Amino acid sequence: MSRVLIVEDEEHLAAGLKLNLEAEGFVTAVEENGQAALERLTRGSDGFDVVLLDVMLPGLDGFEVVRRLRAAGKFVPVMLLTARSHTDDVLQGFEAGADDYLSKPFDLSILLARLQGLLRRKTWLRGSDEAGQEEGPAEFHFAGKEIDFGEQRLRWDGGEQPLTLMEATLLRYLVRHEGQTVSRKALLEKVWGVRQDTDTRTVDNFIVRLRRYIEADPSHPVHLQTVRGVGYRFVAAPDRSSQ
């Protein structure tokens, strides 16, 4: 049974979400403002599987809540609920560390599908799909680094970097297609699960972040290569493949 924290200041919306999610078998809790949600999530004893986070909140807004949550080392999957799907809002949300977003108003069926998508990705990262089939190793080693997908962590000698669900999912997809060029459109479909409503700049934005984590010189990437006009390619051992 999955636990969902609903952060929404409009009482009737929060009550409606709670009612509908509980009817679908979720366990829910509600917070009405950003500060209270942040405190509850950083205290960390509730063990929520996913957070539904409204952007427009009194006090701390949703962007700030997710930013502070990530800064505190909390990597629970977060879905932002935005009043409109302006590209700037969407990008700002992903940049802050959100994993998905939904524009209000939305259909309950869409919300449920996206929530299940987030929860499935988490399972996929741990190394198995819904049917329990192995999806390949949960760790990957390259260039002195270890990616632990299940733990959502990148480790190297003397350091580590936690990854958001979306960062880890993108990295896993690229690693599993090592040496192949994948288009931005394919990444949006396979990683974000969206077909047309997200700007492909979201992908570029995430690639920039991943390069900061894995490249010795992020402005001259050797592992996460740009394929001009198409997309990206992950290469684990660039020296070896160029010989």
Helical pair 87-96 and 62-71, crossing angle rounded to 10 deg = 20
Q: Coil, helix or strand for 178?
A: coil
Q: Which stretch binds Ca ion (CB under 5 A): 28-36, 47-55, 98-106, 135-143?
A: 47-55
- Minimal distance, residue 81 CB to Ca ion, in Å: 8
Cβ atoms of residues 16 and 30 within 8 Å: no
Q: How far is the CB of 54 from Ca ion (least distance, A)?
A: 4
Residues in the interface with Ca ion (CB under 5 A) total 3
Rounded Cα–Cα distance for residues 100 and 83 (Å): 14
Member of 56, 108, 208, 216 binding Ca ion (CB under 5 A): 56
Least CB distance to Ca ion at residue 61 (A)? 9
Residue closer to Ca ion, measured from CB, 16 or 127 = 16
| Cβ-contact 7, 31 below 8 angstroms | yes
Looking at 55-63, 120-128, 135-143, 203-211, which segment touches Ca ion (CB under 5 A)? 55-63
Min separation Cβ 58 and Ca ion, Å: 8
54 touches Ca ion (CB under 5 A): yes
**Residue 94: phi, psi to the nearest 5?**
-65, -40
CA distance 195 to 131: 25
Helix (H, G, I), strand (E, B) or coil at 1: coil
Which of 104, 233 has the CB closer to Ca ion?
Answer: 104
Amino acid at 174: L
Q: Which residues make beta-bridge pairs with 197?
A: none
DSSP state of 228: T
Nearer to Ca ion, 105 or 159 (CB): 105
**Distance in angstroms (rounded) separating the CA atoms of residues 29 and 14:** 10
Least Å distance, CB 159 to Ca ion, is: 38
Q: Please, which residue, 10 or 22, has the CB nearer to Ca ion? A: 10
In the bound complex, what is the minimum distance in angstroms from residue 9's beta carbon to Ca ion? 5
Identify which range of 29-37, 44-52, 56-64, 190-198 contacts Ca ion by CB under 5 A.
Answer: 56-64
Residues 2-41 that bind Ca ion (CB under 5 A): 9
Residue 82 or residue 152: which is nearer to Ca ion going by CB?
Answer: 82
Collapsed DSSP state (helix, strand, coil) of residue 153: strand
Rounded Cα–Cα distance for residues 73 and 68 (Å): 9
Cβ closest to Ca ion, residue 14 vs residue 235: 14
Q: Which residues bind Ca ion (CB under 5 A)?
A: 9, 54, 56
